[in-house]
Structure 1
Amino acid sequence: MADHPDIGWSGSLRARLDNLLAAAQTRLELLTVELQEEKLRLARLLFMTVLAALFLGFAAVFAALWITVALWDSHRLLALGLSTGLFVTLGVAAATVAARTVAAGSRLFAASINELNKDRSALGREP
């Protein structure tokens, strides 16, 4: 027994601490991967949203100009007024959808939280 000093309770404690640290390291690595994935997803979403808004904005302006020029002699003010009303309505609708989307949100780090809950359950502590 003198040859193996770690066999007693201190060895058991060290093994448990080693397991705990390994589990914590794995969870942190998972958290890092999830954070990177979320960052890439948000960057792509932002880019595509800006691009879509830019092209749709150009299309809306040119459509309004086309209608106004087509009705220039008879109803130009009506065409401008209806175009403005349409753009304001669409802008308010888009802002409402964006606000609801932000309010609903997504559960960030869901996989990490689930794994930590499993760890707590395995240790005998219910989350």
Structure 2
Amino acid sequence: MKLCICFVLLSVVLYASADNPFSSGFKFVRDAAGGARDMWRAYRDMREANYIGADKYFHARGNYDAARRGPGGAWIAKVISDAREGWQSGVSGRGAEDTRLDQEANAWGRSGGDPNRYRPKGLPSKY
């Protein structure tokens, strides 16, 4: 996990310093770092809640929170989501359909869609 975080942070720095339309310097990096924290918080909450049927909600929520920070947050949310789904699809055994549905929830949240669309009944209000 530490290696993954280091890779993500290095990617943020390299991307922010590249010649691209989103590289407004420090703000992009700050938004990306905050977005990574949002994604981590959603993942941590998902693990803590351990609630059957809630994973899509947490996918959407993490992406939603990260993307609200701006282009850096949206970018890091996509990077993390794609990396996680790429890794998970190879080891989880849940199949392509689960990966597709996870990515649908990720994109929904990143585009500003309300994560509660995926909220299962009975999930504690804490989340």
Same fold per superposition (TM over 0.5): no
Choose between structure 1 and 2: higher helix proportion.
1
TM-score (norm 1): 0.31
TM-score (norm 2): 0.31
Q: Which has the larger radius of gyration?
A: 1
